[in-house]
Amino acid sequence: MLGITDFWTYVLGSAAIILLPGPNSIFVLSVGARRGVRAGYRAAAGVFLGDTVLMTLSAAGVASLLRTYPPLFLVIKYAGAAYLLWVGLGIIRGALRRLRQRSSPTAGSVGAANRAGAGTAEAGARQMSTAEADTRPAGSAAEPSDLRHPFRRAAVISLLNPKAILFFVSFFIQFVEPGYPHPALSFLVLGAVVQLFSSLYLTALIFGGKFLAGQFRRRRKLAAGAATGVGALFVGFGIKLATASIG
């Protein structure tokens, strides 16, 4: 069928591969948990764009170029590793900063305002303003700096991974008939299957992140710990990519 052999074996293999945790899926989950469904889908769109570009480059023979010119592979690899480390450390810094802000006492300043303006309309207005600020939903606060621009960040995380190009070629080529006259069409179908599974999986992660957000709002220390863990995962992904070989 369209130059593809063992199609259902490929489908099962693709599903298993998509379920493996990686920087793309962890980033989408983190965005969904911290910024909601809409931002989660923006991050997922960045992943789709990045993966589509990588699959297109794979079909165009860029994998052979990377093998022929190892310095090019090294440049992309180390750039990707540095970006993953930067994202991971940014998430960790943001989690620690939020934990310090939430643990700092605010009762003293509120009490001083009440004492200074007791019995006056100005003091009453300040109290109402403070109460509104305290009850404001977490999502309406300033946008987390470590998760700004989710589409762009997800796309960069996906694109700066030369191993993905080599993977797509080595995985896809097993299921393409050698004598088929239109291999690009075979790659298109195989890529569409991967993107279908990816969209389903990332959707589950986004709504799973929404559920986790509700839990984390009631458990601030747990939220900070989870964010720190996500940051540590990105640091680990960066180290793993930095030590990867072209083979």
Query: Which pLDDT does position 120 carry in this prediction?
Result: 44
Question: Helices in 139-219 by DSSP H: which ranges?
Answer: 150-159, 162-172, 183-218
Q: Bridge-partner residues for 176, per DSSP?
A: 4
What integer best gives the mean pLDDT of the chain?
76
Within 13 Å, how many C-alpha atoms sit on residue 205's CB side? 27
CA-to-CA dists, residue 193 to 8, 17, 190, angstroms: 11, 12, 5
What is d(CA 81, CA 163) in angstroms, rounded to the nearest whole number?
Answer: 11
Query: Which pLDDT does position 88 carry in this prediction?
Result: 84
67-109 tens-digit pLDDT: 777 887 888 888 878 888 888 888 888 878 877 776 655 444 4
Query: Which pLDDT does position 44 carry in this prediction?
Result: 95
Confidence of residue 141 (pLDDT cuts 50, 70, 90): very low
Classify residue 107 by burial, with Cβ atoms within 10 Å: 0-12, 13-18, 19+. Answer: exposed
Terminal alpha carbon distance of the chain: 30
Query: Which pLDDT does position 43 carry in this prediction?
Result: 95
Whether residue 59 is predicted with pLDDT greater than 50 in this model: the reply is yes
- Joined tokens for residue 203: 């959707």
Answer yes or no: are the C-beta atoms of 126 and 113 closer than 8 Å.
yes
Query: Which pLDDT does position 146 carry in this prediction?
Result: 55
Whether residue 232 is predicted with pLDDT greater than 90 in this model: the reply is no
Nearest to 71 by CA among 162, 146, 169, 188: 162
Answer yes or no: are the C-beta atoms of 227 and 220 closer than 8 Å.
no
Q: How many residues does the chain have?
A: 247
Query: Which pLDDT does position 165 carry in this prediction?
Result: 78
What is d(CA 242, CA 23) in angstroms, rounded to the nearest whole number?
Answer: 14
Q: What angle do CA 33, 91, 160 make, to 5 degrees?
A: 95
136 or 224, higher pLDDT: 224
Whether residue 246 is predicted with pLDDT greater than 70 in this model: the reply is no
Confidence of residue 131 (pLDDT cuts 50, 70, 90): very low
27-43 tens-digit pLDDT: 998 898 888 899 999 99
Q: Bridge-partner residues for 4, per DSSP?
A: 176
145-189 tens-digit pLDDT: 556 789 999 999 888 887 787 778 778 877 888 777 887 888 889
